[in-house]
Amino acid sequence: PSHPAATSGALSPFDRRLKRKQKNWAALQAEPAKCDYLREEVRGSSGAVPGDETFPLALDVGSGRGYIAQHLTKETVEKLIQVDVAENALKNAVETEIPTVKVVADEEFLPFKENTFDLVVSSLSLHWVNDLPKAFKEIHHVLKPDGVFIGAMFGGDTLYELRCSLQLAELEREGGFSPHVSPFTAVADLGHLLSRAGFNTLTVDTDEIQVNYPGLFEVMEDLQGRYILCMGESNCSWNRKPLLHRETMLAAAAIYREMYGNTDGSVPATFQIYYMIGWKYHESQAKPAQRGSATVSFGDLAKIEGLISRGKK
């Protein structure tokens, strides 16, 4: 299922084989409740449209252990295909009332025919793909005309406090730095990428989730304990640095607290989330509703019937 997209780190910032290993390991080690708080927050995005139909066939791209599926019903999605690069994640998926088929595949190379799905969803997975424009084109390709894509992914300002503190500490103690937090897409690029992939009537929103910790060491421990264990979120950049010296870590902890510390002594860690909704063109589609007129949120996955075609009135 892993596809050697390129051998150059400049062209392909992420080692997808390593990411698959990380997610497979995480799927066997994790306690799902540990990452619920962030995933619950991600479900609370804004923006959607009214509608009154059911999705006969849906696709969950980068499904992991099927978190999204837990919030869908068979009245809104009749059949669900779950795709993930990690077979262990699919083997340990949470059961759902919806008839489900599990497929091991890379998000950048979806093994489905054109015009197959009525709905495609993706939550906190696409930030790890090497070729995001291609991934969006793949999603657009497998959607039926008038089908909808609903996604959420980590944004460019995610963990900026940690990133900056580590970089300043390494510059000070070691005379240079390498990435310890993976790169993310800028929100200014997202709408353009979706549009180039063929989506129309786009909605792109951004939100921030801030979690407070006693200090930098607790931030990194939690990232390992939760985001490696729960979502396989360890850094898989080709140019990642495998080791941080203790003196550098101590300096980074001091910088973190000095630059970003709260009055109570804790430090914040920020997760930026991008939410997106895009439709595949169909001639029956009506003109977009007035901005701000949405009545259903991405968080209301149990009410996903409210996210279907607005073209049929």
**Which whole number is the average pLDDT over 191-214?**
92
Residue 281 pLDDT greater than 80, yes or no: yes
267 neighbors 161 (Cβ within 8 angstroms): yes
Residue-level pLDDT at 245:
78
Topology of domain 16-158+183-212+270-282 in CATH is Rossmann fold (3.40.50)
Specify the pairing of strand 267-280 against strand 143-154: antiparallel
Q: Compare 81 and 297 and report the one with higher pLDDT.
A: 81
Across 23-42, average pLDDT: 56
Whole-number pLDDT of residue 123: 87
Looking at per-residue confidence, does 207 or 141 come out higher? 141
pLDDT at position 190 over 80 = yes
Q: Starting at the edge strand that comes first in sequence, how are the strands of the sheet with 58-61 ordered? A: 100-104, 80-84, 58-61, 117-123, 143-154, 267-280, 199-213
CA 49 – CA 289 distance, rounded (Å): 8
> What is the per-residue pLDDT for 59?
95
160 contact partners, CB below 8 Å, separation of at least 6: 270
* pLDDT number for residue 144: 97
Q: What is the pLDDT of residue 136?
A: 94
What pLDDT is recorded for position 3? 40
pLDDT averaged over every residue in the chain: 75
Q: What local confidence, expressed as pLDDT, does residue 47 receive?
A: 31
Mean pLDDT for 15-43 is: 55
Who wins on pLDDT, 71 or 118? 118
Highest mean pLDDT among 43-57, 147-161, 248-262: 248-262
Give how far Cα 109 sits from Cα of 52, 91, 131, 170, 259, Å. 32, 20, 10, 37, 42
Between residues 142 and 53, which one has the greater pLDDT?
142
Q: pLDDT confidence of 232, banded at 50, 70, 90? A: very low
* pTM of this structure: 0.74
Maximum mean pLDDT: which of 24-38, 72-86, 251-265: 251-265
**69-73, 94-98, 166-170, 284-288: least confidently modelled range:** 284-288
Which of 25-29, 57-61, 144-148, 281-285 is predicted with the least confidence, judged by mean pLDDT?
25-29
Q: What angle do CA 36, 209, 240 make, to 5 degrees?
A: 85
Ranking 117-126, 198-207, 209-218, 283-292 by mean pLDDT, the lowest is 283-292
pLDDT at 299: 58
Residue 199: band (very low, low, confident or very high) from pLDDT cuts 50, 70, 90: very high
pLDDT given for residue 295 in this prediction? 59
At 120 the pLDDT is: 94
Nearest to 68 by CA among 169, 186, 150: 150
Compute CA distances 20 → 66, 91, 125, 160, 232, whole Å.
Answer: 16, 14, 12, 25, 8
**Burial letters 32-63, b for 16+ CB under 10 A, else e:** beebeebbebbbebebbbebeebbebbbbbbb
Lowest mean pLDDT among 5-19, 139-153, 269-283: 5-19
CA atoms within 13 A on the CB side of 70: 15
Please say if the pLDDT value at position 308 is more than 70: no
Predicted confidence (pLDDT) at residue 171 exceeds the cutoff of 80: yes
Specify which of 42-51, 89-98, 174-183, 297-306 reaches the highest per-range mean pLDDT.
89-98
Q: How many helices (H) and strands (E) does the chain have?
A: 8, 7
